[in-house]
Amino acid sequence: MPSISKKGFSMPESPIRKLVPYAEKAKKEGVKVIHLNIGQPDIKTPKIALDAVKNNTISVLSYSRTEGSEAYREKLARYYANHDIAVTAQDILVTTGGSEALSFTMGSIADSDDEIIIPEPFYANYNGFATAMGVTVVPVVSQIDNNFALPPIEEFEKLITPKTKAILICNPGNPTGYLYTREEIKKLAVIAKKHDLFLISDEVYREFTYDNKEHYSILQEPGMDEHAIIVDSVSKRYSMCGARIGCMVSKNKDVMKTALKFAQARLSPPTYAQIASEAALETPLSYFEDVKKEYVSRRNLLIGELEKIEGIKIGHPQGAFYCIAELPIKDTDVFAQWLLEEFRVDGETVMVAPAAGFYASEGLGKNQIRIAYVLDKERLKRAVFILKEALKSYKDQ
């Protein structure tokens, strides 16, 4: 039989999706599965975005420009200006989700076996994009005991080799919910400049910051024009995950010229979705105020309920809509599968994301799970209750 590529073999499974067959089986048997595993918000997409698609008068659904429609990129530049990020339409490449922006970024800056340093735990698909692009992820461990704050800068410096091309952060973080401070961003900027590295910041959760804390972008930091690359997306901002629109933003002309070649190979980002994304930029600020209020009250409820469970440790999120919980068990992969296959409370169970897949270091995160608080408070409370009962019944295998 013709054989599969080595790269294909080494592609990691998504820890968020790999348990789906067990969940589907449970659902077929009539079990209600509460999903704490996936960051698909239940928040309504702004009507203005949906209406823009419904009411448009396109007669030929054509390709758009490779870099995204001019009108959308102009409006995006204004959006960034409102966030104190000074860029022009030429500094923006519209992509098919933040996912494609991550692939294009890695492809544009790193050759096979080049290294990118990433604080772990990190968004699990960074492993997938890096494997597909032949890039080596070099993890630097952040700790649950200080909410996954930036590891000491000396830890980054120890890992820098001639193959290091970039440091990649997610701010605010998935899966940690950690929001980097201005001082932490400044420290990263200093080492990026000192060692001539790119600093990539995945800012897809920019708006979701809590407790009166403000987001500080790497492109707000002076002197970073040649080093900074932002990865962005409409998926979570406007609850438009299915639109598949994101972008890459950088003032570095060589980076953008190179990324454009990757983009030309896939022709263009989706046309209807750009129309929706452009309209979404008109979403009133009150939308975000309401959404933030909702996430804060969900977070408070979730953390409050989890803290009542004996033996559990939680990283307190200040942004995004995830948290990492450390459980008093050995292997959350086994536990998560057991929840779906065997454990029920009145016909219901929960699905969680085992956290080992959010680490690159072998053996780390095995006793942790990631929880996404994208459900209403009643469902969240019920989910934590089921988790608590499950921990009482579960015996490590």
Report how far residue 358's alpha carbon sits from residue 16's, in angstroms, rounded to the nearest whole number.
10
Binding status of residue 120 toward ligand PLP by CB under 6 A: no
Within its chain, how far is the Cα of 374 from the centroid?
14
Binding status of residue 97 toward ligand PLP by CB under 6 A: yes
Query: Which lies closer to ligand PLP via its Cβ, residue 64 or residue 105?
Result: 105
Query: SS3 for 94?
Result: strand
Report how far residue 357's alpha carbon sits from residue 238's, in angstroms, rounded to the nearest whole number.
27
Contact with ligand PLP (CB under 6 A): which of 41, 46, 98, 139?
98
How many Cβ atoms from other residues are within 10 Å of residue 184's Cβ? 18
Give the DSSP H or E segment for 371: strand 368-372
Spatial CA neighbour of 206 closest among 189, 218, 197: 218
Query: Which lies closer to ligand PLP via its Cβ, residue 93 or residue 386?
Result: 93
Spatial CA neighbour of 358 closest among 340, 335, 332: 332
> What angle (nearest 5°) sits at the alpha carbon of residue 124, between those of residues 263 and 370?
140
Site for ligand PLP in 158-217 (CB under 6 A): 170, 174, 202, 204
Query: Which lies closer to ligand PLP via its Cβ, residue 98 or residue 357?
Result: 98
The b/e string for 342-376 (b: 16+ C-beta within 10 A; e otherwise) is ebebeebbbbbbbbbbbbbeeebbbbbbbbbbbbe
Binding status of residue 233 toward ligand PLP by CB under 6 A: yes
Binding status of residue 119 toward ligand PLP by CB under 6 A: no
Which residue of the chain is nearest ligand PLP when measured via CB? 97
Q: Which stretch binds ligand PLP (CB under 6 A): 127-135, 153-161, 188-196, 233-241?
A: 233-241
Contact with ligand PLP (CB under 6 A): which of 107, 246, 354, 365?
246
Q: Which stretch binds ligand PLP (CB under 6 A): 70-78, 94-102, 284-292, 330-338?
A: 94-102
Site string for ligand PLP, 41-80 (x = CB under 6 A): ----------------------------------------
Site for ligand PLP in 126-165 (CB under 6 A): none
> Footprint of ligand PLP on this chain (CB under 6 A)?
39, 97-99, 123, 170, 174, 202, 204, 233, 235, 241, 246
